Protein backbone atom coordinates (compact mmCIF):
# COMPACT_ATOMS: atom_id res chain seq x y z
CA UNK A 1 0.00 0.00 0.00
CA UNK A 2 1.21 3.51 -0.80
CA UNK A 3 2.13 5.34 2.38
CA UNK A 4 1.37 8.97 1.53
CA UNK A 5 -2.33 8.61 0.59
CA UNK A 6 -2.83 6.18 3.46
CA UNK A 7 -1.27 8.66 5.88
CA UNK A 8 -3.49 11.39 4.48
CA UNK A 9 -6.59 9.27 4.99
CA UNK A 10 -5.56 8.56 8.57
CA UNK A 11 -5.02 12.24 9.25
CA UNK A 12 -8.40 12.89 7.67
CA UNK A 13 -9.94 10.60 10.24
CA UNK A 14 -7.97 12.10 13.09
CA UNK A 15 -8.86 15.63 12.06
CA UNK A 16 -12.40 14.93 10.96
CA UNK A 17 -11.80 16.07 7.43
CA UNK A 18 -14.82 16.52 5.27
CA UNK A 19 -14.74 14.57 2.00
CA UNK A 20 -11.79 15.90 0.12
CA UNK A 21 -11.89 18.25 -2.82
CA UNK A 22 -9.21 20.07 -4.73
CA UNK A 23 -9.16 22.75 -7.38
CA UNK A 24 -7.99 20.09 -9.87
CA UNK A 25 -11.05 17.91 -9.18
CA UNK A 26 -14.25 18.94 -10.95
CA UNK A 27 -17.70 18.24 -9.59
CA UNK A 28 -21.15 19.74 -9.17
CA UNK A 29 -22.50 21.43 -6.06
CA UNK A 30 -25.36 19.12 -5.12
CA UNK A 31 -27.14 21.84 -3.14
CA UNK A 32 -27.80 23.60 -6.44
CA UNK A 33 -29.79 20.67 -7.83
CA UNK A 34 -31.38 19.54 -4.57
CA UNK A 35 -35.20 19.74 -4.42
CA UNK A 36 -36.22 22.85 -2.44
CA UNK A 37 -38.14 20.75 0.08
CA UNK A 38 -35.08 18.64 0.91
CA UNK A 39 -32.85 21.71 1.12
CA UNK A 40 -35.33 23.26 3.55
CA UNK A 41 -35.17 20.07 5.65
CA UNK A 42 -31.39 20.36 5.83
CA UNK A 43 -31.53 23.97 6.98
CA UNK A 44 -34.23 23.14 9.53
CA UNK A 45 -32.13 20.31 10.95
CA UNK A 46 -29.18 22.67 11.43
CA UNK A 47 -31.18 25.63 12.69
CA UNK A 48 -31.07 24.89 16.42
CA UNK A 49 -27.38 23.95 16.59
CA UNK A 50 -25.32 26.48 18.59
CA UNK A 51 -22.66 28.31 16.58
CA UNK A 52 -23.77 26.52 13.42
CA UNK A 53 -22.43 29.28 11.15
CA UNK A 54 -18.95 30.73 11.07
CA UNK A 55 -15.37 29.55 10.73
CA UNK A 56 -13.26 32.06 12.64
CA UNK A 57 -13.75 33.23 16.22
CA UNK A 58 -12.14 35.23 18.99
CA UNK A 59 -12.40 34.02 22.61
CA UNK A 60 -11.53 36.31 25.53
CA UNK A 61 -11.45 35.78 29.28
CA UNK A 62 -9.82 38.51 31.32
CA UNK A 63 -6.39 39.07 29.78
CA UNK A 64 -6.44 35.71 27.98
CA UNK A 65 -7.01 35.59 24.20
CA UNK A 66 -7.60 32.75 21.74
CA UNK A 67 -8.09 32.92 17.99
CA UNK A 68 -10.08 29.85 16.90
CA UNK A 69 -9.87 28.81 13.25
CA UNK A 70 -12.16 26.15 11.80
CA UNK A 71 -10.12 24.45 9.12
CA UNK A 72 -10.61 22.46 5.93
CA UNK A 73 -7.89 19.87 5.57
CA UNK A 74 -7.31 19.89 1.81
CA UNK A 75 -5.92 22.31 -0.74
CA UNK A 76 -8.02 25.18 -2.03
CA UNK A 77 -6.91 28.64 -3.25
CA UNK A 78 -9.56 30.22 -1.04
CA UNK A 79 -7.35 29.40 1.95
CA UNK A 80 -5.24 32.40 0.92
CA UNK A 81 -7.95 34.69 2.30
CA UNK A 82 -7.64 33.20 5.77
CA UNK A 83 -3.85 33.16 5.65
CA UNK A 84 -3.71 36.83 4.68
CA UNK A 85 -5.97 37.66 7.63
CA UNK A 86 -4.46 35.40 10.29
CA UNK A 87 -0.80 35.19 9.29
CA UNK A 88 0.07 38.20 11.48
CA UNK A 89 -1.96 36.73 14.38
CA UNK A 90 0.08 33.52 14.19
CA UNK A 91 3.37 35.39 14.04
CA UNK A 92 2.43 37.33 17.19
CA UNK A 93 1.07 34.32 19.10
CA UNK A 94 2.78 32.44 21.91
CA UNK A 95 1.81 29.12 20.28
CA UNK A 96 -0.20 27.50 17.50
CA UNK A 97 -2.39 24.60 18.63
CA UNK A 98 -3.41 22.00 16.03
CA UNK A 99 -4.81 18.49 16.11
CA UNK A 100 -1.66 16.86 14.75
CA UNK A 101 1.64 18.67 14.32
CA UNK A 102 4.68 17.62 12.27
CA UNK A 103 6.03 15.41 15.05
CA UNK A 104 2.71 13.59 15.42
CA UNK A 105 2.44 13.05 11.66
CA UNK A 106 5.96 11.60 11.61
CA UNK A 107 5.18 9.25 14.50
CA UNK A 108 2.01 8.14 12.73
CA UNK A 109 3.91 7.35 9.53
CA UNK A 110 6.53 5.39 11.46
CA UNK A 111 3.88 3.37 13.29
CA UNK A 112 2.05 2.46 10.08
CA UNK A 113 5.25 1.31 8.42
CA UNK A 114 6.21 -0.80 11.44
CA UNK A 115 2.82 -2.37 12.24
CA UNK A 116 0.45 -3.20 9.34
CA UNK A 117 -2.12 -4.58 11.80
CA UNK A 118 -3.02 -1.00 12.70
CA UNK A 119 -4.92 -0.90 9.40
CA UNK A 120 -5.29 -4.56 8.48
CA UNK A 121 -7.13 -7.25 10.43
CA UNK A 122 -5.04 -10.40 9.85
CA UNK A 123 -7.25 -12.79 11.83
CA UNK A 124 -10.93 -11.87 11.73
CA UNK A 125 -13.48 -12.44 8.96
CA UNK A 126 -12.83 -10.60 5.71
CA UNK A 127 -15.04 -7.79 4.46
CA UNK A 128 -16.50 -10.01 1.69
CA UNK A 129 -17.59 -12.37 4.45
CA UNK A 130 -19.12 -9.56 6.51
CA UNK A 131 -21.01 -7.79 3.72
CA UNK A 132 -23.48 -8.94 1.09
CA UNK A 133 -22.18 -9.82 -2.37
CA UNK A 134 -23.59 -6.62 -3.86
CA UNK A 135 -22.15 -4.50 -1.05
CA UNK A 136 -18.71 -6.02 -1.47
CA UNK A 137 -18.83 -5.60 -5.23
CA UNK A 138 -19.61 -1.89 -4.88
CA UNK A 139 -17.11 -1.41 -2.07
CA UNK A 140 -14.22 -3.20 -3.76
CA UNK A 141 -14.80 -1.19 -6.95
CA UNK A 142 -14.76 2.08 -4.98
CA UNK A 143 -11.55 1.14 -3.17
CA UNK A 144 -9.93 -0.03 -6.42
CA UNK A 145 -10.54 3.48 -7.77
CA UNK A 146 -8.64 4.77 -4.74
CA UNK A 147 -5.64 2.52 -5.42
CA UNK A 148 -6.49 -0.37 -3.09
CA UNK A 149 -6.81 -3.77 -4.82
CA UNK A 150 -9.58 -6.05 -3.59
CA UNK A 151 -7.13 -8.57 -2.14
CA UNK A 152 -5.79 -5.86 0.19
CA UNK A 153 -9.11 -4.12 0.76
CA UNK A 154 -10.74 -7.34 1.95
CA UNK A 155 -8.65 -7.28 5.13
CA UNK A 156 -8.79 -3.57 5.94
CA UNK A 157 -10.31 -2.46 9.21
CA UNK A 158 -13.84 -1.10 8.66
CA UNK A 159 -13.18 2.32 10.17
CA UNK A 160 -10.31 2.87 7.75
CA UNK A 161 -12.45 1.76 4.81
CA UNK A 162 -15.08 4.34 5.79
CA UNK A 163 -12.40 7.04 5.89
CA UNK A 164 -11.04 6.07 2.47
CA UNK A 165 -14.51 6.28 0.94
CA UNK A 166 -14.66 9.96 1.90
CA UNK A 167 -11.62 10.82 -0.22
CA UNK A 168 -12.33 11.01 -3.93
CA UNK A 169 -10.11 9.13 -6.43
CA UNK A 170 -9.20 12.44 -8.01
CA UNK A 171 -8.07 13.83 -4.67
CA UNK A 172 -5.96 10.76 -4.00
CA UNK A 173 -4.10 11.48 -7.24
CA UNK A 174 -3.69 15.14 -6.33
CA UNK A 175 -2.24 14.23 -2.93
CA UNK A 176 0.29 11.90 -4.52
CA UNK A 177 1.28 14.59 -7.02
CA UNK A 178 1.52 17.36 -4.41
CA UNK A 179 3.08 15.22 -1.72
CA UNK A 180 0.70 16.53 0.96
CA UNK A 181 -2.97 17.49 1.34
CA UNK A 182 -2.19 21.22 1.28
CA UNK A 183 -5.03 22.15 3.63
CA UNK A 184 -5.40 25.12 5.93
CA UNK A 185 -3.91 23.16 8.85
CA UNK A 186 -0.64 22.68 6.99
CA UNK A 187 -0.57 26.32 5.94
CA UNK A 188 -1.01 27.41 9.55
CA UNK A 189 1.84 25.16 10.67
CA UNK A 190 4.11 26.43 7.90
CA UNK A 191 3.42 30.03 8.89
CA UNK A 192 4.11 29.29 12.55
CA UNK A 193 7.37 27.52 11.74
CA UNK A 194 8.46 30.44 9.55
CA UNK A 195 7.83 32.79 12.48
CA UNK A 196 9.49 30.45 15.02
CA UNK A 197 6.19 30.09 16.88
CA UNK A 198 5.87 26.78 18.78
CA UNK A 199 3.41 24.27 17.30
CA UNK A 200 1.62 22.07 19.84
CA UNK A 201 -0.67 19.10 19.23
CA UNK A 202 -4.02 18.94 20.99
CA UNK A 203 -3.95 15.15 21.19
CA UNK A 204 -1.47 12.23 20.98
CA UNK A 205 -0.26 10.91 17.63
CA UNK A 206 -2.11 7.60 18.03
CA UNK A 207 -5.55 9.11 18.70
CA UNK A 208 -6.86 7.93 15.34
CA UNK A 209 -6.33 4.30 16.35
CA UNK A 210 -8.32 4.68 19.56
CA UNK A 211 -11.34 6.54 18.17
CA UNK A 212 -13.17 3.46 16.95
CA UNK A 213 -12.34 1.03 19.73
CA UNK A 214 -15.28 -0.77 21.30
CA UNK A 215 -17.52 -0.77 18.23
CA UNK A 216 -19.58 -3.90 17.65
CA UNK A 217 -19.22 -5.80 14.35
CA UNK A 218 -22.68 -4.58 13.31
CA UNK A 219 -21.72 -0.96 14.01
CA UNK A 220 -18.55 -1.36 11.96
CA UNK A 221 -20.45 -2.79 9.02
CA UNK A 222 -23.11 -0.08 9.16
CA UNK A 223 -20.33 2.53 9.24
CA UNK A 224 -19.19 1.28 5.83
CA UNK A 225 -22.75 1.25 4.50
CA UNK A 226 -23.35 4.82 5.69
CA UNK A 227 -20.14 5.95 3.95
CA UNK A 228 -20.93 4.36 0.59
CA UNK A 229 -23.21 7.14 -0.77
CA UNK A 230 -20.36 9.66 -0.71
CA UNK A 231 -18.12 7.23 -2.60
CA UNK A 232 -20.67 6.83 -5.38
CA UNK A 233 -20.45 10.52 -6.37
CA UNK A 234 -17.25 11.51 -4.61
CA UNK A 235 -16.22 14.57 -6.62
CA UNK A 236 -19.72 16.09 -6.55
CA UNK A 237 -19.97 15.36 -2.83
CA UNK A 238 -16.58 16.89 -2.16
CA UNK A 239 -17.28 20.07 -4.11
CA UNK A 240 -20.61 20.45 -2.33
CA UNK A 241 -19.04 20.19 1.10
CA UNK A 242 -16.06 22.39 0.26
CA UNK A 243 -18.39 25.13 -0.98
CA UNK A 244 -20.46 24.80 2.20
CA UNK A 245 -17.30 25.15 4.27
CA UNK A 246 -16.23 28.33 2.52
CA UNK A 247 -19.75 29.71 2.98
CA UNK A 248 -19.31 29.15 6.72
CA UNK A 249 -22.11 26.60 6.92
CA UNK A 250 -20.16 23.92 8.73
CA UNK A 251 -23.07 22.12 10.40
CA UNK A 252 -25.00 22.03 7.15
CA UNK A 253 -22.20 19.75 5.97
CA UNK A 254 -22.97 17.30 8.76
CA UNK A 255 -26.69 17.28 8.02
CA UNK A 256 -26.03 16.82 4.31
CA UNK A 257 -24.20 13.60 5.12
CA UNK A 258 -27.12 12.43 7.25
CA UNK A 259 -29.79 13.08 4.63
CA UNK A 260 -27.67 11.64 1.84
CA UNK A 261 -27.32 8.44 3.87
CA UNK A 262 -31.09 8.41 4.43
CA UNK A 263 -31.58 8.40 0.66
CA UNK A 264 -28.73 6.22 -0.59
CA UNK A 265 -27.21 3.96 2.05
CA UNK A 266 -29.90 1.28 2.25
CA UNK A 267 -30.04 1.76 6.03
CA UNK A 268 -33.19 2.78 7.87
CA UNK A 269 -33.42 6.30 9.26
CA UNK A 270 -32.95 4.96 12.77
CA UNK A 271 -29.82 3.09 11.69
CA UNK A 272 -28.41 6.20 10.01
CA UNK A 273 -29.19 8.31 13.07
CA UNK A 274 -27.45 5.75 15.28
CA UNK A 275 -24.37 5.92 13.05
CA UNK A 276 -24.39 9.71 13.12
CA UNK A 277 -24.65 9.75 16.93
CA UNK A 278 -21.80 7.28 17.18
CA UNK A 279 -19.61 9.26 14.79
CA UNK A 280 -20.38 12.55 16.52
CA UNK A 281 -19.50 11.14 19.93
CA UNK A 282 -16.29 9.43 18.83
CA UNK A 283 -15.00 11.91 16.26
CA UNK A 284 -16.15 15.18 17.77
CA UNK A 285 -17.74 15.38 21.21
CA UNK A 286 -15.28 13.36 23.28
CA UNK A 287 -12.31 14.95 21.53
CA UNK A 288 -13.70 18.47 21.95
CA UNK A 289 -13.96 17.91 25.69
CA UNK A 290 -10.37 16.71 25.87
CA UNK A 291 -9.08 19.73 23.93
CA UNK A 292 -10.55 22.46 26.10
CA UNK A 293 -8.08 22.03 28.95
CA UNK A 294 -4.89 22.25 26.83
CA UNK A 295 -6.35 25.22 24.94
CA UNK A 296 -7.09 27.05 28.20
CA UNK A 297 -3.70 26.16 29.67
CA UNK A 298 -1.93 27.50 26.59
CA UNK A 299 -3.97 30.71 26.73
CA UNK A 300 -3.14 31.23 30.41
CA UNK A 301 0.57 30.70 29.77
CA UNK A 302 0.46 33.07 26.80
CA UNK A 303 -1.27 35.77 28.86
CA UNK A 304 1.70 35.70 31.21
CA UNK A 305 3.81 36.76 28.23
CA UNK A 306 1.31 39.40 27.13
CA UNK A 307 0.31 37.27 24.14
CA UNK A 308 -2.53 35.11 22.87
CA UNK A 309 -2.68 31.74 21.14
CA UNK A 310 -4.10 30.53 17.84
CA UNK A 311 -5.93 27.18 17.65
CA UNK A 312 -6.75 25.59 14.31
CA UNK A 313 -8.79 22.41 13.92
CA UNK A 314 -11.55 20.94 11.75
CA UNK A 315 -14.50 23.29 11.37
CA UNK A 316 -17.01 20.68 12.52
CA UNK A 317 -15.46 20.81 15.99
CA UNK A 318 -16.69 24.39 16.49
CA UNK A 319 -20.53 24.12 16.55
CA UNK A 320 -22.91 22.10 18.67
CA UNK A 321 -23.83 21.76 22.32
CA UNK A 322 -20.60 19.82 22.84
CA UNK A 323 -18.63 21.91 20.33
CA UNK A 324 -15.50 23.77 21.35
CA UNK A 325 -17.23 27.16 21.19
CA UNK A 326 -20.08 26.22 23.52
CA UNK A 327 -17.67 24.43 25.88
CA UNK A 328 -15.55 27.58 26.14
CA UNK A 329 -18.65 29.74 26.58
CA UNK A 330 -19.75 27.52 29.46
CA UNK A 331 -16.35 28.06 31.08
CA UNK A 332 -16.68 31.84 31.07
CA UNK A 333 -15.16 32.80 27.74
CA UNK A 334 -16.66 35.60 25.64
CA UNK A 335 -16.88 34.65 21.98
CA UNK A 336 -17.13 36.91 18.95
CA UNK A 337 -16.98 36.09 15.23
CA UNK A 338 -14.17 37.27 12.99
CA UNK A 339 -15.16 38.23 9.46
CA UNK A 340 -12.89 37.32 6.56
CA UNK A 341 -14.10 38.82 3.31
CA UNK A 342 -14.81 36.18 0.70
CA UNK A 343 -15.17 33.26 3.09
CA UNK A 344 -17.56 32.18 5.85
CA UNK A 345 -17.88 34.75 8.63
CA UNK A 346 -19.23 34.16 12.11
CA UNK A 347 -22.80 34.74 13.14
Contact 53, 248 (CB under 8 A): yes
Cα–Cα separations (whole angstroms), residue 311 to 79, 101, 199:
16, 12, 10
Better pLDDT: 218 or 13: 218
Dist CA 20 CA 238 (whole Å): 5
What's the pLDDT tens digit per position in 100-133? 999 998 998 899 889 989 889 998 899 999 999 9
- Pairing of the two strands 96-98 and 199-201: parallel
Give the angle 141-178-251 at the CA atoms, nearest 5°: 70
Single pTM value for the model: 0.89
Q: Tell me what the pLDDT averaged over the chain comes to.
A: 88
Phi, psi of 248 (to 5 degrees): 85, 10
Phi, psi torsion values for 200, nearest 5 degrees:
-120, 140
Q: Return d(Cα 152, Cα 129) in angstroms, integer.
A: 14
In 131-285, alpha helices (H): 133-145, 150-153, 158-165, 169-178, 184-194, 207-210, 217-232, 234-246, 250-264, 269-279
Phi, psi of 298 (to 5 degrees): -65, -40
18/175 Cα distance (integer angstroms): 15
> Residue 70 above 60 pLDDT?
yes
- Of 28-32, 285-289, 320-324, the range with the lowest mean pLDDT is 28-32
45-56 confidence digits (pLDDT tens): 999 999 999 999
Q: pLDDT tier at 344 (50, 70, 90 boundaries)?
A: low
Amino acid sequence: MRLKPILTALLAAATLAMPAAAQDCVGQNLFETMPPKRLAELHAAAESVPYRHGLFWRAEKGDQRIILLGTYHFADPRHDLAMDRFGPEIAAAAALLVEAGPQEEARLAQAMAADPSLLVDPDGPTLPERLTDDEWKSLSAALEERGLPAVIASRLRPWYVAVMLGISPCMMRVIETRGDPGGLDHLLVERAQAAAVPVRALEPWDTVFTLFQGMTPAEEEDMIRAAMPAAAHADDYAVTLADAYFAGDSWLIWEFGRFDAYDRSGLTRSQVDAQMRLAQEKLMDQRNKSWVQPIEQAAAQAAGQGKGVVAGFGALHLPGKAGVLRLLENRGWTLSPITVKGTGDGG
